[in-house]
Amino acid sequence: MTGNLRMHLKTHLNVKMFACTLDNCGKSFSSNESLRRHQLVHKGKAISWYT
């Protein structure tokens, strides 16, 4: 099974192995990339899709 398929299946199984520990947040994510993107919120550098 490829890594991409494994990650895809985790989204359907609601497996969230990557937890945010910043500011006692407690949110969890299925991928490290999603966690890192979320942590930008805590650092005041959140990506805005609206300009």
Sorting pLDDT into bands at 50, 70 and 90, what band is 48? low
The pLDDT, as a whole number, for residue 2 is 76
Task: For tokens 């520990």, name the residue.
Answer: 21
Give tens-digit pLDDT for 6-20. 878 877 888 788 999
In this prediction the pTM is 0.65
Residue range 30-35: mean pLDDT, rounded: 90
For the chain, give percent helix, strand, coil, nearest 5: 50, 10, 45
CATH architecture of 3-42: 2-Layer Sandwich (3.30)
Sorting pLDDT into bands at 50, 70 and 90, what band is 35? very high
